Amino acid sequence: MRIAFYAPMKSPTHPTPSGDRAFARLLMRALRKSGHEVILASRFRSYDGVGSLDRQRQLLRRGKQALENAYRRLENQPPDLWFTYHLYHKAPDFIGPILSKRFGIPYVIADASHAPKQRKGKWASGYQAAEAAIKTADRLLCFDPLDAACLKEVRPTGVSIEPLLPFTAQRKPSQFEQGMARRDLAASLNLPTDMPWLITVAMMRDDAKSRSYEMLATVMKKLKNKEWALLIAGDGENRTQVEAQFGADLTVRFLGTLNGKSLSRLYAAGDIFVWPSLNEGCGMALLEAAASGLPVLSGARPGPEQFIIEGETGYLCQEGNVDALHKKLSFLLANPDHCKTLGNNGARLVSVNHSLDKASRRLNETLQPLCMENAA
């Protein structure tokens, strides 16, 4: 199939790294792995993070122009299917529903979110556009069980909501790779190798991410008399605030944005991955950490619950409960052998249930019949 791919929240070619961009790239990779031709239909970003009516009107105008630009690029060789990733009230799809109708092809949305409380809020126009797009979809794919429940209210009659497990191409490093990564980082960061290294990977945005960092800093201050180092990969407009929350008395290293091999080396060098996961979805960094063989400690959310099995691959604490996170992290720091068992179990689970190969097959099984039905 020839598939037109579009990510209104953040294009896979966007210059700023994030979990959204990483997963958009993974989806394109998974679709191509099944032998499909995947074309990036548009780089237009419809995201409004502040709830500005003026900005939303401007985005609507720009969206109409992006639609026509995409049509001109695709009209000589139309796609067989349109695939939109991550659509919601802050980032509606102004392009896919209209071009799918023009070309007479199926319209598929992955990771759509429907929030009725936004019907009359600051993003009311974006809510209406997102809802309208969802109502035209021929198939809805969900990574987060919470989204599936809300989508049932607005899905078209007869359109299925297909669960799709989050996936990653990350793999467990060899012992040699782990040792090399740890020695290299120890030298560059001036850290001893004989203490536990905790890993956190998250952007520093002024939203739930900042609240998670604040909670993490509170927990780490409770552990200041224990030996550990916290290595944080991430950057953003709130970095100064985040660094100040941890203070100068803790052994924390801020590494900035890491991608690709540099991020894989960080996972390989670590002992425990920890993140409060306040209001998080699937949590790509958590999944990558588990795939890399790290035990994962997270706040309990439906996304992470799909691969963090209590006491087997990691631990889940009540979301927002500082004492629970502190207690579990203290336990993990005191039990390094148990951490290794958790990490090995997690890497095996991810390789079986959350691999790129499995996701590619699942996507193909879901999308191929749509095109066959449309052709008939």
Residues 37 and 147 in one domain: yes
Q: CATH code at 370?
A: 3.40.50.2000
The contacts of residue 327 (CB under 8 Å, 6+ apart) are none
Residues 261 and 315 in one domain: yes
118 pLDDT tier (thresholds 50, 70, 90):
confident
Residues 189 and 64 in one domain: no
375 pLDDT tier (thresholds 50, 70, 90):
low
Instruction: Quick: pLDDT tens for 346-358.
Output: 999 999 999 999 9
Q: What local confidence, expressed as pLDDT, does residue 224 receive? A: 84
Residues 264 and 291 in one domain: yes
What average pLDDT is seen over the chain? 92
Residues 370 and 339 in one domain: no
Q: Which of 374, 363, 362, 356 is nearest to 79 (CA)?
A: 374
Alpha carbon of 326 to those of 172, 227, 290: distances in Å? 27, 14, 20
Range of the domain at 238: 175-353
Residues 348 and 362 in one domain: no
Alpha carbon of 258 to those of 49, 166, 200: distances in Å? 24, 21, 11
Q: What is the mean pLDDT of residues 237-263?
A: 92
| 121, pLDDT greater than 90 | no
Q: What local confidence, expressed as pLDDT, does residue 290 receive? A: 96
E strand spans, 90-201: 107-112, 139-142, 161-163, 197-201
Residues 359 and 346 in one domain: no
Q: What is the mean pLDDT of residues 25-39?
A: 95
376 pLDDT tier (thresholds 50, 70, 90):
low
Residues 149 and 17 in one domain: yes
161: phi then psi, degrees, rounded to nearest 5: -105, 110
Instruction: Count up the domains in the chain and report the number.
Output: 2
Q: What is the DSSP letter of 195?
A: S
Residues 227 and 89 in one domain: no
116 pLDDT tier (thresholds 50, 70, 90):
confident
* Contact call for residues 109 and 140 (beta carbons, < 8 A): yes
Q: What local confidence, expressed as pLDDT, does residue 301 receive? A: 87
Residues 341 and 365 in one domain: no
Residues 139 and 211 in one domain: no
Q: What is the DSSP letter of 23?
A: H
Q: What local confidence, expressed as pLDDT, does residue 282 receive? A: 74
Is the whole model's pTM more than 0.85, yes or no?
yes
Residues 110 and 234 in one domain: no
* Contact call for residues 269 and 181 (beta carbons, < 8 A): yes
372 pLDDT tier (thresholds 50, 70, 90):
confident
Distance CA 22, CA 47 (A): 17
